[in-house]
Structure 1
């Protein structure tokens, strides 16, 4: 497991926090001071890495692209030396979602930073972007459309105040479109029109729903939209916002110049000039498809959203709690039964967390959430419902959860009954594999204890562990009066042997 240094206290004046955004085009890091509920940035680092352009025809990140990313993270790591690991969160987006060897890169990056890399789904990326943007804007009651053009994907979010209502991530970005339509740097009308048409085809899937919900203002974030605004301003096309007319004139300017190397825009960073035509084509398609007349810009983005999300967790305002509670309601979970299983699982966790090294708060939370959601598959069918539960937990859009966290929840759900899921166990990261198998064993035992779904309290029992050996002790005579539990535990002893664990029951 990753070594846990001192934890951060959100109530301590001046506490430092950091967020790392491992993007498809650029890597960003922000270090901020947490003061009276507000985050004040004190250090920002950004480097152009272009992971997305370093992907070969087979979907593999090339060694050169990986090395660029790891070198960048080594520099970030030096700046973070004095921060506790609990005060840092690293999030990866489209490039690692799509790369065949994305998990391998994430594992190497984790060793450099000393903390896990959370590869988030597009839906979660959109939520974090919205969180970052809305904290950077004045608080108003109108609906906002937020657009963020990244290197490999573009996120569209409609929300009001701090609550997103529609979130989508589309497979189009400034790097991927540059590679496909502007690779040699030439800016032609044919290439621009092809890029715009490709973006419009992507937008067809969301156009109706977004226009139906509507919005009163539109805000853009990310380096691509910032570069677009800078170009419009430098050319005298804008007074602080991007309009449809300004976008059309910027397109004309780009076509007249004809090549990204010839762009003389002094306010646009040199590394942004190459991908600017692709970004403008995507933005032009969005303006036309969604009937956008003007767009303001916000400096808030994914990294700021990660910081505010982390601050919420530290204040026990974890969006993941709300997500799990909503899931329970949506799938009509027997909540009383789920909470009884949770309580029993936590009793066992308290007894074994030291010898099994399960002290990290992550394990407490995941055991709780798995206890509450392991039966959601019953909505589909009782037959093999644990498999249905696992599928839903793996593939639903769960706000606040990373892809890996959803994989862990799915593993616990699938493993809570019958044969232990060996294949899924092998796919877990090496440093988490044993811990999550042990959490699964605790959940399995709690489910067995409450099979009758009775309100009656369990007797005081003890669970002792020594490596892969479990010793479960009940009061004398209790199992004699509960033959079903005895039979289930005998069967469980056989199941555990498949994973080289031994269960003794007295």
Structure 2
């Protein structure tokens, strides 16, 4: 009998992720991971702030999905779930890209809303980090949107998606990413974020999260900077601690270097060198707003949340 093999695709604004698993036959068994890979697509580059996906990223997206389709055929995938988030959600030509992907690869893409995205991220993070009964603040910094969720191991207390992703912040506050990010740009970004994130401040006051869990590429990069080397997707542990001291050291470096110098730092993907600056300003502000001193990363996010949801659904049937 042929095993059921599932492909989960998460089409983010920066990165497209593919997870291929073999589904278990036994009811409470865990799926077997066959492939975990990602492609830097930068779907929001050159257009997200104008509400369009530019031509070059549009082509990169189609190319990435064609590559994923090859992997899926190679691994004899039987079922596919593909989701797309902020860039596809808000761009005028997002529906055209969904159509082109289907026509060229047969993959049906579901464009999901910010609230649903936040919910799936929380479910994914719980697979990587034992949250326990106390509330934690989960933060996923995408290229288009940023999701904040206050949750424990069983309950979501508050969640909100904000269209303030790293590509948008870069377009708005860092017009010349080849240079150093000046102090006045840091101040302008923080002032803007304080205003936008007023609902977060109120939720933090109410629920008092005890720790921060970062579930995005920016946190992976900061964890790689902490150990001084760039890890492949398959090498990442489900979760690791990110010390406050290491974050502050990395933050200082990122602010004081040019683009060329940032890309030379051990642990940094060139694609993330500039976005990591504006993302780190956001993380620093969140630490100030919350007073949190304990941070963890989660290598699991939306696609693992979708898988957990599907497993829970099949167990309940």
Identify whether the pair has TM-score above 0.5, normalized to the shorter chain: yes
Alpha-carbon distance change, 57 to 276 in structure 1, aligned in 2, over 3 angstroms: closer
State how far apart, in whole Å, the 2-side matches of 1:196 and 1:233 are. Answer: 28
Alpha-carbon distance change, 56 to 302 in structure 1, aligned in 2, over 3 angstroms: closer
Q: Give the Å deviation of 1:268.
A: 1.9
Asked if structure 2 preserves the Cα contact closer than 8 Å seen for 1:174 and 1:224, the reply is: no
Matches within 5 A, 1:269-418: 269-316=269-316
Q: Which has the higher contact order (CA 8 A, sep 6+)?
A: 2
Q: Give the Å deviation of 1:168.
A: 0.8
Alignment partner, residue 260 of structure 2: 261
Asked if structure 2 preserves the Cα contact closer than 8 Å seen for 1:131 and 1:305, the reply is: yes
1:396-443 CA distance string (max 9 Å, x none) = xxxxxxxxxxxxxxxxxxxxxxxxxxxxxxxxxxxxxxxxxxxxxxxx
State how far apart, in whole Å, the 2-side matches of 1:268 and 1:46 are. Answer: 15
> Which residue, out of 185, 189, 198, partners 2:183?
189
> Which residue, out of 19, 23, 26, partners 2:8?
19
State how far apart, in whole Å, the 2-side matches of 1:204 and 1:138 are. Answer: 28
Alpha-carbon distance change, 163 to 273 in structure 1, aligned in 2, over 3 angstroms: same
Secondary structure class of the residue paired with 1:175: helix
Alignment partner, residue 469 of structure 1: none
Asked if structure 2 preserves the Cα contact closer than 8 Å seen for 1:244 and 1:292, the reply is: no
CA RMSD of aligned residues (A): 2.2
Alignment partner, residue 235 of structure 2: none
Alpha-carbon distance change, 132 to 113 in structure 1, aligned in 2, over 3 angstroms: farther
State how far apart, in whole Å, the 2-side matches of 1:129 and 1:285 are. Answer: 21
Q: Give the Å deviation of 1:39.
A: 3.0
Asked if structure 2 preserves the Cα contact closer than 8 Å seen for 1:94 and 1:122, the reply is: yes
> Which residue, out of 135, 140, 165, partners 1:143?
135
Q: Give the Å deviation of 1:139.
A: 6.3
Secondary structure class of the residue paired with 1:118: strand
1:225 correspondence with 2:219: yes
Q: Which runs of 5 or more residues in structure 2 are unaligned?
A: 230-239
Asked if structure 2 preserves the Cα contact closer than 8 Å seen for 1:18 and 1:307, the reply is: no
Q: Give the Å deviation of 1:31.
A: 0.6
Alignment partner, residue 176 of structure 1: 168
1:94 correspondence with 2:79: no
State how far apart, in whole Å, the 2-side matches of 1:159 and 1:228 are. Answer: 23
1:190-238 CA distance string (max 9 Å, x none) = 2222222222222112211232112233211111111122224439xxx
Alpha-carbon distance change, 113 to 158 in structure 1, aligned in 2, over 3 angstroms: farther
State how far apart, in whole Å, the 2-side matches of 1:63 and 1:189 are. Answer: 33
Which stretch of structure 1 is more off in the superposition, 63-72 or 306-315? 306-315
State how far apart, in whole Å, the 1-side matches of 2:150 and 2:300 are. Answer: 16
Alpha-carbon distance change, 296 to 56 in structure 1, aligned in 2, over 3 angstroms: closer
1:65 correspondence with 2:57: yes
Asked if structure 1 preserves the Cα contact closer than 8 Å seen for 2:48 and 2:91, the reply is: no
1:86-125 CA distance string (max 9 Å, x none) = x210000000111011111111122334242111110100
State how far apart, in whole Å, the 2-side matches of 1:115 and 1:49 are. Answer: 17
Q: Which runs of 5 or more residues in structure 1 are unaligned?
A: 1-11, 318-506
1:200 correspondence with 2:189: no
Matches within 5 A, 1:118-129: 118-129=110-121
Alignment partner, residue 468 of structure 1: none
Asked if structure 1 preserves the Cα contact closer than 8 Å seen for 2:211 and 2:293, the reply is: no
**TM-score of the aligned structures, taking structure 1 as reference length:** 0.56
> Which residue, out of 206, 211, 222, partners 1:212?
206
Q: Give the Å deviation of 1:252.
A: 2.1
Alignment partner, residue 52 of structure 1: 44
Matches within 5 A, 1:442-461: none
State how far apart, in whole Å, the 1-side matches of 2:105 and 2:122 are. Answer: 26
Which stretch of structure 1 is more off in the superposition, 58-67 or 272-281? 58-67
Asked if structure 2 preserves the Cα contact closer than 8 Å seen for 1:225 and 1:279, the reply is: no
Number of aligned residue pairs: give it. Answer: 299
State how far apart, in whole Å, the 2-side matches of 1:155 and 1:217 are. Answer: 16
Asked if structure 2 preserves the Cα contact closer than 8 Å seen for 1:261 and 1:274, the reply is: no
**TM-score of the aligned structures, taking structure 2 as reference length:** 0.86
Asked if structure 2 preserves the Cα contact closer than 8 Å seen for 1:77 and 1:112, the reply is: no
The structure with the largest alpha-carbon Rg is: 1
Asked if structure 2 preserves the Cα contact closer than 8 Å seen for 1:25 and 1:49, the reply is: yes
Secondary structure class of the residue paired with 2:185: helix
> Which residue, out of 21, 43, 48, partners 1:32?
21
Secondary structure class of the residue paired with 1:28: strand
